[in-house]
Amino acid sequence: MLINTSNINEIDFEKSELMPAIVQDKNTGVILMQGFMNFAALEKTLDCGKVTFFSRSKQRLWTKGESSKNYLNVKEIHTDCDFDSILILATPDGPTCHLGSQSCFENAKPDLAFLAQLNQVISNRKNDDPNDSYTASLFAKDISRSAQKVGEEGVEVALAAVKQDIEELKNESADLLYHLLVLLQRSETDISDVIKVLQQRHK
């Protein structure tokens, strides 16, 4: 188990015994929940790889998911510039909120996060019955079909833009993005790899 950490040795627990700890979905960027950590909670989190808080109500260490099994699997841990709050990037095993929703901040999801969620849905459905899932039917066909769909949708996007038909532009763009995500997965790559290329170009 490898957890990427950034400056966590400089967290100033002398400033406050309990530090706010925000958990963010590593893949979608959605804020999942917020809790508090003391040194022992951080130590256990690093040791077991699952987000562990200090529960103020129970007055003990509490690993998220210890009852529900909806664990938060730690990928990265960072601190802020003042070393008095913690940001954890994790992948959830299931719903994070005790109410059954993905996030304790269910109504505060950034729009762009849905693209990552859609990418995960595509991954989950690619092995389904092709008769029941359009996504699975694309994976069942030769990759040339997915490539063809990206080409067709790209042309439709361009035509809609030239016609200045905004509603059609939005709909065709949605089709293009969906089929591009499928094609990337068919090519054993991911939208995150494309984003990294854009980030490198931005530098």
**DSSP line for 1-41:** ---EEESGGG--TTT-SSEEEEEEETTT--EEEEEEE-HHH
> What is the per-residue pLDDT for 2?
58
Going by C-alpha positions, the residue among 28, 2, 22 that lies closest to residue 195 is 28
> What is the per-residue pLDDT for 25?
92
For tokens 């990418």, the residue is 119
CA 25 – CA 113 distance, rounded (Å): 10
As given in the structure block, the two tokens for residue 75 are 């990928």
Interval 149-178: pLDDT, tens: 999 999 999 999 999 999 999 999 999 999
For tokens 């949708």, the residue is 153
Beta partners for 63?
A: 52
CA 158 – CA 4 distance, rounded (Å): 42
As given in the structure block, the two tokens for residue 12 are 């100033």
Beta partners for 111?
A: none
> What is the per-residue pLDDT for 104?
93
CA 138 – CA 144 distance, rounded (Å): 10
For tokens 């690993």, the residue is 63
> What is the per-residue pLDDT for 144?
96
pLDDT < 50 regions, the chain: none
Going by C-alpha positions, the residue among 16, 180, 30, 177 that lies closest to residue 90 is 30
Sketch out the chain's domains with CATH numbers.
8-92 (3.10.20.810), 111-202 (1.10.287.1080)
| pTM more than 0.75 | no
**104, 75 in Cβ contact below 8 A?**
no
For tokens 């929940």, the residue is 33
